[in-house]
Structure 1
């Protein structure tokens, strides 16, 4: 499979925010979001062909060196890759706790020990909203994350509409974050606390922590 980079950092978003993890970023994506901050993993030839065993060996070296047990599989879009199932199975069998960051175009097919999904709903400002399917969101469960990256009030209203269509008994963790530099944080927070749907479903505001700690344009963090 095409691997853009493998590195150790902290989780910048979601359930494991601030926690050390090894990131495996696969190359290639079926979307072209307006605010994408990792186009180097979407287009071009900046990648290395690696087998699932080679990726596992690279990740294992970080565990041996520093004890890290969390893996984040990201992209691009990792679930469009042939071999994604094999790689996830190897991570699970090796005892890693795996977060799969996925763009919302692929249903959550695999349920393995130690694995959860962080799925995006691409709102209108991404330019990819028409590619979203509520059925894919409904494959999430209470251990997963549904993330909305918003650039304006219309995006927030779209997020509210999506959450309203989810099954309460399978409601994932809901996170909302700003398109970096496009909407004031306080505007999102004020809207969220006034939204009955978001409040009832324990929606959480977040920023991309890695962009606070490091230069927002830095790779490998």
Structure 2
């Protein structure tokens, strides 16, 4: 017990960074996912082509490789040098925006075509139709899939250790290497399990509220 209390501060510091990456990624990538999903349905072929290529690359390559490429690759290519935290957040946002875009695209396609026609009859423009007719139904439809991605995001944050960022996983790894014991890893696992349980409960609550009001 004494040992756990000794290493707990370093793990909590790592947890703060992990939660920072998590919340920033979620706050930025969710609205961007909606925008990209709309771009996929654009009348302009070039815009659809660009967004589809972007989504294919982001979903078709490992997130770990993307982190390494953004942090090291951009520097080696003399494009820019990003600090570790900014590089990680940028990579996570790009990756999860692509996944959320596909989720929202499926939700948009699930809205019956007759409702769009009815909105036109009522004199609504495309923006009004999307805001008042499509979006509420899309949010309700995609919420279970969004919830799955939220849980995946919690676990994916452990990948940031690869570029030396002091997250929860790296804090545990340092303690394990120093003290030659697996107790820090057990605590790290407990933290991740607790986070996934908390966010699972939150997402299920949101789903229930949406089912009640929609």
- Compare relative contact order (CA 8 Å, sep 6+) and give the higher one, 1 or 2: 2
Give the TM-score, by structure 1 length: 0.23
Q: Which has the larger radius of gyration?
A: 2
Give the TM-score, by structure 2 length: 0.24
Q: Which of the two has greater helix per residue? A: 2
Q: Which of the two has greater strand per residue? A: 1
